[in-house]
Amino acid sequence: MNSKDVTIFDVHNHIHETPSEFEVLDVKGHTAYCVQATKYVDWDDVVRLKDSYRSIIIPAFGIHPWFVERVLSGEIPPTWADELRKMLTQHHAILGECGLDKAARNPETHQVYPFEPQIQLLETQLSIAHDLDIPVSLHCVRAFGALSDVLRKAESKGQLPPLLMLHSYSGSPDMLEQMFLKGELGRRTYVSFSSAVNGRNQTKSAKCIQIVPADRLLVESDLHGARATAAALETAIALVAEARGWSFSEAQLQLALNSRVFF
C-alpha cells in the first residue's frame, strides 16, 4: 500500500472546542480524528461534530480529572455514569479522556485537584469501559505510580478494559517499561506521542518510543483546533520514525495499522 493512500489517525484531540476551524477537516478520509470530550457539558458537542463529519470522526466521551470538583459539587449530575454508559453505547465511542493528574490546579482556587476523588472517578470509568468492552484514552501527569496501581488492581480482578492508550506519555522510559508494559496490562497498553508534549524533550521521548513494541505505537495532535493538526501529526510521525530508524512512510504505515487495531 502506498503511504499516500493511508489514513492518518489523530488518536487524541479536542477539536470540537473550535468550531470555526471545522472547515479544514479532511473530508476525503485521509485523516481520522478521535475527538475526546472531557467535561460532561461537551459530550453533545462531539456528537454534533460526529454527525456532521461521520466518516472521519471517532467519538470519545469521559470526564477528565480536571473536572473532578464538578462531580463532587453536583455541577456534573450524579447520573453522569449512567449517562456516559448510554452515550458510549449509542455512538459506538471509546472512553476518554479520563485519568489522574497531581500537577494541575484549579484556576480559581489555585489548589491542586483532590486526588482520591480522581482515583474514584477513574475507577468508575474503567469499570464502564470494561463492561462495554471498549478502549480507554488515559491522561496522566505526575501520577504514574498511582495510575499503575489502579490498572494493576483492575487487572487482578479481571476487570481491565480491552485496550488502553497512554496519551502524550510524559513519564520516564523506566516507568513506562516497568509499570505499563509488562504482563496482561502490557499486552493491552498502547502509547501515543504528540509534538505538543513529546517534542519538548525529544531525547527522552525517543527512548520511550524505542521501548514501546512497534505494534503499540500511536500518534496524536492533542490540539483544541483542527487547523494545526496536519502539521502536528506530521511532526509526531517524524518523531516516531527517527526514534525507530524508520522512513516516514514506514512509520505512517505502521501507525495506521496500529490505530485501526486500537479502534
Q: Give the pLDDT confidence of 162-175 residue by residue, as tens digits.
A: 999 999 999 999 99
What mean pLDDT comes out for the span 184-211? 97
Q: Is the pLDDT of residue 4 over 70?
A: no
Which pLDDT score is estimated for 164? Answer: 98
Does the pLDDT at position 2 exceed 70? no
- pTM of the predicted model as reported, rounded to 2 decimal places: 0.97
CA angle 256, 259, 263 (to 5 degrees): 145
pLDDT at 52: 96
Residue 26 has a pLDDT of 80
In DSSP notation, 133-153 reads T--EEEEEES-HHHHHHHHHH
Q: 3: pLDDT confidence band, cut at 50, 70 and 90? A: low
Place of cell 484531540: 13
71-112 pLDDT, tens per residue? 999 999 999 999 999 999 999 999 999 999 999 999 999 999
- pLDDT value for 247: 98
How far apart CA 168 and CA 92 sit, in angstroms, is 24
